[in-house]
Amino acid sequence: MNSFISSSDAGRWRRFTGAFLATAAIVLCGIVVFAYAVDPYDSGRSSLFAKAGVRPQGPRTAAPSRGRDLSYNAAIVGNSHIQLLSPEHLKETTGLDFVQLSVPASGPKEQFVIIDWFLRHRQNPAKALVISADESWCGQDPAMPNTKPFPFWLFSANPLEYAKGLVRYDILEEVPRRLGYVFNAKAERARPDGYWNYEQNYIDLGYANDPVLRQRLETRPDADKTILPSDPMKGKWSFPVADKLKQVVSAMPADLAVVLVFPPNYKNYLPPPQTSRAYKDEACKVALRAAMEAHPKSTVIDWRVDREENRDPNLYFDLTHYRLPIARKVETDVAAALRKLR
């Protein structure tokens, strides 16, 4: 039996392989070009299939559409720790049109990207920006690593990076969904202002009544409760997010009112006084406050402190997720701060 392949057979295989790869490349390019034209997440990069808004979906992929919506001149950026602030309530007290751009489980790296997206898509200057700075803003890694996947490519100013991001399986699913949304006059639209009241979701999961889940509120997560007479790291702390914040706010328009909020935590999540975590938290807040001073129209609201509301377990689902009564009070503080700034 002849075990070798003739030169003519080898040549045919090479031609076949070359043709197959060329065809695959053409098909892939065609898919990317078509996806670019369809603009599945309404990023504004193509007007061929333009229709306001997106179908109901998660905030990670809905944010590009909401963030460039010119109906809004103010934005709330953060994660679920600021998600309960209502754009409608803030409009009632400030007269500003707010959009909720918070993304659950996101950190400062993703949030800076969203801030940039919102500001560079204003035809008229934005009026206000509310930024949530939770404990993730006190990280020590200059890379500000994100703990959950995030579509950075979707917010990129580089068209090539965006096109490369379209090379993924879920785009094959989203393109027909987008077309269905565009051509169906009755298609459901995701809430334009991005507000999501997660209270019912927590209640359905038992966080309001389940004894085991309720008991978690009374369990402190601190591993080290050693009392220290002074901060051994005083003058040595480094907070890369504060450095980035200073860079970002210093480049913002001078007339933009910027409010940084340290969101509420339940009493048992607040670091015990005179512990390493408490010293770090305070040093972080000092650094973030100093960074905000780079912008002429800015202020800081601190709810991450020991206060009456943060001692009431009925106002919390877990150690860092509060309920609507606290959200309403934070909104009141934000509105008051904006009135002073403006």
pLDDT at residue 328 in the model: 98
Q: What is the reported pLDDT for 30?
A: 77
Q: How far is 327 from 127, CA to CA, in rounded Å?
A: 22
Residue-wise pLDDT for 259-295, tens only, equals 999 999 999 999 999 999 999 999 999 999 999 999 9
Q: Are 114 and 103 in contact (CB under 8 A)?
A: yes
* pTM of this structure: 0.92
Q: In sequence order, which residues have a C-beta less than 8 Å from that of residue 68 and are 6 or more positions away?
A: 43, 44, 117, 118, 121
Token pair of 145, please?
A: 């690593």
Judge contact between 304 and 281, C-beta under 8 A: yes
Q: Which numeric CATH code is attached to 57-151+191-341?
A: 3.40.50.1110
**pLDDT 10s digits, 14-24:** 776 766 666 76
Over range 2-7, report the average pLDDT: 59
pLDDT tens by residue, 67-103: 999 999 999 999 999 999 999 999 999 999 999 999 9
Instruction: Give bridge partners of residue 299 from the DSSP assignment.
Output: 259
Domain ranges of the chain: 57-151+191-341
Q: Could you say which DSSP state residue 316 is in?
A: B
**What is the DSSP annotation of 130-154?**
EEE--GGGG---TT---SS---GGG
Give the 3-state secondary structure of residue 259: strand
Strands, sheet with 298-302, edge to edge from the N-terminal-most edge strand: 98-100, 74-77, 128-132, 257-262, 298-302
- Cα dihedral sign, 52-192-253-134: negative
Q: How many CA atoms lie within 13 A of 99 on its CB side?
A: 29
Residue 311 backbone phi and psi in degrees, to 5: -105, -5
